A and B are shown apart, each in its own frame.
Chain A
Amino acid sequence: MATEQTLESIPGIITHLQERFPDAVQPAPAPYQGAIVARDRLVEVATYLRDELEYRYLSNVTAVDYPQPVNGMPPCFDVVYHFFQSRGGPLTLHVQADRENPVVPSLAPLFPSALFQEREAWDLMGVRFEGHPDLRRILLWEGFDGHPLRKNWKEVYYEEEHKPFSSRFPEGRPVPAESRSPFGDNLRYPPGWSPRDWRPLVDVWGYAPHDELARQENPDHPADRVVLNMGPHHPSTHGVLRLLATLEGERIVKLEPMMGFLHRCHEKIGERNTWWGNIPYTDRLDYVCCMTNELPYVLAVEKLLGIEPPPRAQYIRVIMSEFTRFLNHAVSVGFMCNDMGVYFTVMLYALEEREHILDLFEMVSGSRLMSNYMRFGGVAHDMSEEAVALARALAFERLPRVVDMVDQYLTENEIFKARTVGVGVLPPEMAVAYGCTGPMLRGSGIPYDVRRAEPYAAYDELDFDIITAPEGDVYARYLVRLGEMRQSLRILQQALNRLPDGPIMAGKKSATLKVPAGEAYGRIEAPKGELGFYVVSDGGPNPYRYHIRAPSFVNLGVMEPICQGHLIADVVIILASVDITLGEVDR
């Protein structure tokens, strides 16, 4: 039997699992981490992990396509799971599915956080999860041909497997993209599928279960049930999100978020791109907080490269992340008030502060939103004296006053409390099971923060508190955001006072970067929750697989349970308190 000692580290846990399940678990071969689990024993192993070893949080589910053997992995679909405890790095499980008929048992009944993520893996990679209650496409539509993340799938403007495209140099003459594929040729339907026979309004677009529910009668409620569409063009969905709801009177019986309207297959673009080329693309994920989008990708690749940025770069990363957190929370609270009917007042106060922070970003990186600032082994530019002065003015003088103003404006406001207290209660067990992170999780009273659980950049040297609120309702999430704004300023003040001198890059930047073969999962505490990047390298100049675990996407999975029984007007506020950005949900 394993002792307490061996269960402290990931290799110890894998050894323990191997002893416990001798014919089902074996350590993954060299460039890979974690363990390979037999397909038919996965549920058993996962149950043991959850119930006995305290691995309650399934962060990330994705799949990697190996048409040919790569890095010693046989031809298969490698389904990858990342489990976390309350501390430390990921426990990675690999399950190999047959290349011709990829079927893997679903973990959704055990870990509801897999509900959306397994649907995404089915949608983009075509891995079927047996036992999943509702395995439909999630980001693409039913008329889409094939599964785009498979290596043999090619897009319409397909030119070459990887960038840089050879048509550009040394004999490069521009071809307008639209001339290559005139309108009409860029649509391809699955075999046997025709848009004419498609009945979109009946079942495929998700109405069927709602219609079924609407036909049932409730003896306690005399009125008919109504199926209601909110969005995709609705101002309070913060983008293009469609919420399909069945109502009884004005109360929600069933609610289903449907997304994919902004989908651009970011991950396929990422696999075509070079390692460097992906950094500016990550800015386009969560377009509210650009700086924190780049950081986990850079951290993941740094793990593969084995480089450590110099201290000044670490501190600059902290400063940028915390300004981003402040900005995001201010805007989030502001927009929640907008959804609540406090039109524009708090929102514009928040946007005013955002302008100052964006000015700082522009001064430091060169762009307000698409900052493209983090680099492998450091940051792109040094913070000038002027930028440090502006950052100090903001962190020490201006922004503390703003937090106090928001606090005074909303915290005890009777109308605000009437709308938020007791609305959208998320119990802590459910928050963990659904994989919620960020203010959602801490608003349910669980003090889990990646900055503490697995410190990155310079967070282990800085002093800050993890804000929690026990109630789990919208008001608690607001209180957590407000508290985190204060903590962000506390971190910023320390970081600016201690900002060391020195270089900002480890080593030299090389345009043709090759990353050693292997896999890495880099994660940070983004303002919205845990943002993770899973990258696989085959040793080449491009990522072999590039997957994003978006906090907005996973947090949205809990919308249905927490909205049940609430008024339709409360759904708007609950959605605002989940704090999503559709660029990140749809990717």
Chain B
Amino acid sequence: MYIGWNVLKALWITFRRFVETYIDDLKWLFKKGFGKRYTPETLPVRQHPLTKRGIFTVQYPQERLPLPERFRGFPFLVYDDETGKLRCTACGTCVRVCPPQCIWIVRATDPQTGKPLREPAEFYVDISICMNCGFCAEFCPFDAIKMGHEIEIAAFDRADLLLDLEKLRRPVSYDAQIHPTDYAQEQGRKGE
């Protein structure tokens, strides 16, 4: 008794969306050929809020959505391509701002004089605790720590999630590649 005109109208909306997926598939088939809809190149069209029609599923392991430049993965430490020297000076700012306190640093000391040096001897980030907030990168006064774009980090052992200095090192060129705008701004700041 409640089935009325407006219920049919609602069903019409669902039906239209159902048919739309097939129409869109056929359009791609006739314009571009078989299987051309589901390629990485068509992702921007299929995902754009104004151009997308029909099914918008991303077939994840085969195709991946591009990560925006500002995406915050896990922190890494930047070193110079040529000299291999880390930018980090072991000042401890990232340790102080890290909300879950997942960063540990041992400051290096000069073996002869015993004085503390401006570089880390050991650097640990426990990414099983890290909450990807990005404060370490934001507050770093030397642009030495950045948020990476690595997201597939599953491990069999918790110890594998404790990254040490070796696992945290990335070259500047890698940073320039994933953060082009930020890198250009950084170079601009240095030029001044």
Partner of B49, one of A172, A278, A390: A390
Pair B7/A174 contact, Cβ less than 8 Å = no
Which B residue sits closest to A510, measured CB to CB?
Answer: B139
Interface hits, A274-318 → B, CB 8 Å: 274, 276-281
Most A-side CB within 10 Å, residue of B9, B10, B13, B98: B10
Bound-state CA distance A164–B103 (Å) is 11
Query: Given the complex of chains A and B, what is the CA–CA distance between A512 and B103 in angstroms?
Result: 17
Q: Of A168, A366, A410, A511, which one neighbours B134 at CB under 8 angstroms?
A: A366
Task: Spot the interface stretch: A70-78, A113-121, A392-400, A530-538.
Answer: A392-400
A144-167 at interface with B (beta carbon < 8 Å): 163-165, 167
Determine if B10 and A408 form an interchain contact, defined as CB atoms under 8 angstroms apart.
Answer: yes
Known A174-B124, A408-B10: A164·B101 in contact at CB below 8 Å: yes
Does A414 lie within 8 Å of B2, measured CB to CB? yes
Asked whether A277 and B99 contact (CB < 8 A) given A174-B124, A352-B56, A405-B13, the answer is yes
Check A367 against B132 for contact (C-beta < 8 Å): yes
How many residues of chain A get a CB closer than 8 Å to chain B's CBs?
52
A174 in contact with B147 (CB, 8 Å): no
Known: A367-B132, A414-B3, A509-B139. A276 touches B158 (CB 8 A): no
> Is B61 engaged at the interface, CB distance under 8 Å to the other chain?
no
Q: Give 1 or 0 for each of B156-181: 1 = CB within 8 Å of chain A CB.
A: 00100010000000000000000001
List B contacts of A405 (CB < 8 A): 13
Give every chain A residue within 8 A of B72 (Cβ-Cβ): 366-367
CB neighbours (8 Å) of B133 from chain A are 279-280, 370, 372
CB pair A176–B70 under 8 Å, yes or no, is: no
Instruction: Decide yes or no whether A364 CB sits under 8 A from chain B.
Output: yes
Indicate the member of A168, A352, A408 with the most B CB atoms within 10 Å. A168
Which residues 82-106 of B sit at the A interface, judged by CB distance below 8 A?
90, 92-93, 95-99, 101, 103-106
- By the criterion CB–CB under 8 Å, are B13 and A408 in contact? yes
Specify the chain B residue showing the minimal Cβ separation from A390: B49
Q: Residue of B at shortest CB range from A167?
A: B104
In angstroms, how far is the closest chain B Cβ from the Cβ of A385? 11
A512 near B13 with CB under 8 A, answer: no
- Which of chain A's residues has its CB closest to B16's CB? A405
B104 near A413 with CB under 8 A, answer: no
Asked whether, in the complex, the Cβ of A414 is within 8 Å of the Cβ of B105, the reply is no
A364 to B7, CA, bound (A): 40
Q: A173-B106, A273-B99, A367-B72 in contact; A511/B93 too (CB < 8 A)? A: yes
Residue contact B71 to A410, C-beta cutoff 8 Å? no
Bound CA–CA A397/B103 (angstroms): 45
Cα distance A381–B69 in the bound complex, in angstroms:
12
Distance, CA A388 to CA B173, complexed state (A): 29
A170: contacting residue among B49, B50, B116, B135, CB under 8 A: B116
- In the bound complex, residues from chain B placing their C-beta under 8 Å from that of A560 are none
Chain B residues near A410 (CB-CB < 8 A): 10
Inter-chain CA distance A408–B14, complex, in Å, is 11
B7 A413 Cβ-Cβ under 8 A: yes
Is residue B6 within 8 Å, beta carbon to beta carbon, of the partner chain?
yes
Number of B interface residues in the complex (CB < 8 A): 46
For A349, the closest partner residue in chain B by CB is: B17
**A530 to B: closest C-beta gap in Å:** 26
| A contact residues around B20 at 8 Å (CB) | none
Contacting residues, chain B, for A363 (C-beta < 8 A): 68, 70
B126 at the interface (CB under 8 A from A): yes
A511 to B93, CA, bound (A): 7
- Does the CB pair A512–B96 fall under 8 Å? yes
A171 within 8 A of B: yes
Decide if the interface of chain B is mainly helix, strand, loop or mixed. Answer: mixed
Q: How far is the CA of A172 from the CA of B123 in the complex (A)?
A: 8
Give CA–CA (A206, B129) in the complex, Å. 36
- Does B138 belong to the interface (CB within 8 Å)? yes
Given the known A-B contacts A168-B105, A397-B50, A418-B2, are A413 and B10 also in contact in the complex, defined by CB atoms under 8 Å?
A: yes
Set of chain B residues within 8 Å of A177, measured between Cβ atoms: 129
Report Cα–Cα, A84/B22, bound state, in Å.
55
A269 to nearest B CB, angstroms? 9
**Distance (whole angstroms) from the CB of A401 to the closest CB of chain B:** 10
Complex Cα spacing A444 to B49, Å: 35
> In the assembly, what is the distance between CA of A408 and CA of B9, in Å?
8
Q: Which residue of B lies closest to A164 (CB)?
A: B96
Pick from B14, B50, B97: contact of A277, CB below 8 A: B97
Asked if B4 is an interface residue, CB under 8 A from chain A, the answer is yes
CB atoms of A362 and B68 under 8 A apart: yes
CB of A169 closer than 8 Å to a CB of B = yes
Q: Considering only CB atoms, which chain B residue lies closest to A367 in the complex?
A: B72
From B6, B101, B124, B129, A173 is in contact (CB under 8 Å) with B124
What is the distance, in angstroms, from A570's C-beta to the closest C-beta of chain B?
16
Docked CA distance A129–B95 (Å): 42
Q: Is the CB of A364 within 8 A of B97?
A: no
Per-residue contact bits, chain B 111-142, to A (CB 8 Å; 1 contact, 0 not): 00000100000101010010111110011000
Q: Given the complex of chains A and B, what is the CA–CA distance between A384 and B68 in angstroms?
A: 11
Q: Within 8 Å CB of B6, what residues of A?
A: 412-414
Task: Mark interface residues in A362-394 (1 if CB within 8 Å of B CB, else 0).
Answer: 111111001010000000110010000010011
Q: Which residues of A contact B181 (CB under 8 A)?
A: 384
Q: Are B105 and A174 in contact (CB under 8 A)?
A: no
The residue of chain B having its C-beta at the shortest distance from the C-beta of A386 within the complex is: B68
- Asked whether A370 and B131 contact (CB < 8 A) given A169-B92, A173-B124, A409-B10, the answer is yes
Instruction: Determine the distance from Cα of A207 to Cα of B103 in the docked complex, in whole angstroms.
Output: 47
Query: 3 closest Cβ contacts across the A-B interface?
Result: A172-B104, A277-B99, A280-B133
Using A280-B135, A415-B2 as known contacts, list a sample of 14 further A-B pairs with CB atoms less than 8 Å apart, ordered by residue number in A: A168-B95, A168-B105, A172-B103, A277-B98, A278-B99, A279-B133, A281-B99, A362-B71, A363-B70, A366-B68, A393-B50, A397-B50, A410-B10, A412-B9
Residues of chain B at the chain A interface (Cβ within 8 Å)? 2-4, 6-7, 9-10, 13-14, 49-50, 56, 68, 70-72, 90, 92-93, 95-99, 101, 103-107, 116, 122, 124, 126, 129, 131-135, 138-139, 147, 158, 162, 181
Q: 30 A-B contacts, Cβ less than 8 Å apart?
A: A164-B96, A168-B103, A170-B92, A170-B105, A170-B106, A170-B107, A170-B116, A173-B104, A173-B106, A174-B162, A274-B99, A281-B99, A345-B14, A364-B70, A366-B72, A366-B134, A367-B71, A367-B72, A367-B132, A370-B131, A370-B133, A380-B138, A381-B70, A393-B49, A393-B50, A398-B49, A412-B6, A414-B3, A414-B4, A512-B96
Q: Which residues from chain A sit less than 8 Å from chain B, CB to CB?
A: 163-165, 167-174, 176-177, 273-274, 276-281, 345, 352, 356, 362-367, 370, 372, 380-381, 384, 390, 393-394, 397-398, 405, 408-410, 412-415, 418, 509, 511-512
